[in-house]
């Protein structure tokens, strides 16, 4: 019964969602000069407007708000080193889901370490996150593509 209730809340929130995200994303590579064999950190920064928040990709619950998720297109030009790490998330109790949630407000930052395996590689994929308003009681499901063009030097 609790699962059905939570599913209906998520469905209603998704159906009432806007089509344009009020958040803005920026992408950055930790080093400007890279060679084949180097390690680098990809940083995703999502600027979040006032009175909105997003949920981190790392959560400690089975049923609750949808956590952020990242999907990297497989490519032989790079290797993922570990999982995507959230930087500076906060924690609070969510009374609707009755669980502790990890979230971001103002800005959400995520980092992924990679190893460069070939010259001039492209790291592409997409990520999803749930963006929720603290004043309008609505959530948006957002999917964004990303692309890092990594130029290498000899």
More confident residue, 29 or 10: 29
Q: What is the predicted pLDDT for the residue at 21?
A: 52
CATH of domain 2-150: 2.60.40.1250
Please state, in angstroms and rounded to a whole number, the distance separating the CA atoms of residues 15 and 138. Answer: 10
pLDDT in tens, 95-138: 888 999 999 999 999 999 999 999 999 999 999 999 999 888 89
Residue 20 pLDDT greater than 70, yes or no:
no
Q: With contact defined as beta carbons under 8 Å apart, do 102 and 89 qualify?
A: yes
Q: What is the predicted pLDDT for the residue at 82?
A: 97
- Give the mean pLDDT of 57-72: 95
What does the mean pLDDT of the chain come to? 87
Residue 6 pLDDT greater than 80, yes or no:
no
Q: Where are the domains of the chain?
A: 2-150
- Give the mean pLDDT of 49-70: 94
Residue 19 pLDDT greater than 90, yes or no:
no
**35: which residues sit within 8 A by CB, 6+ positions away?**
116, 152, 153, 154
């Amino acid at each position: 019964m609790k699962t059905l209730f939570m599913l209906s809340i998520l469905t209603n929130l998704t159906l009432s969602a806007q089509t344009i995200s009020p958040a803005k994303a920026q992408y950055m590579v930790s080093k400007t000069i890279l060679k084949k064999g180097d390690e680098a950190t990809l940083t995703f920064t999502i600027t979040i407007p006032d009175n909105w928040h997003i949920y981190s990709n790392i959560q400690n619950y089975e049923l609750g708000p949808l956590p952020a998720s990242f999907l990297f297109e497989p490519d032989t030009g790079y290797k993922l080193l570990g999982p995507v790490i959230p930087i500076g998330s906060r924690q609070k109790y969510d009374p609707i889901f009755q669980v502790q949630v990890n979230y971001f407000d103002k800005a959400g930052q995520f980092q992924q370490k990679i190893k460069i395996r070939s010259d001039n590689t492209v790291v592409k994929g997409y990520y999803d996150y749930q963006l929720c308003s603290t004043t309008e009681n609505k959530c948006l499901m957002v999917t964004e593509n990303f692309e890092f063009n990594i130029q290498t030097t000899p």
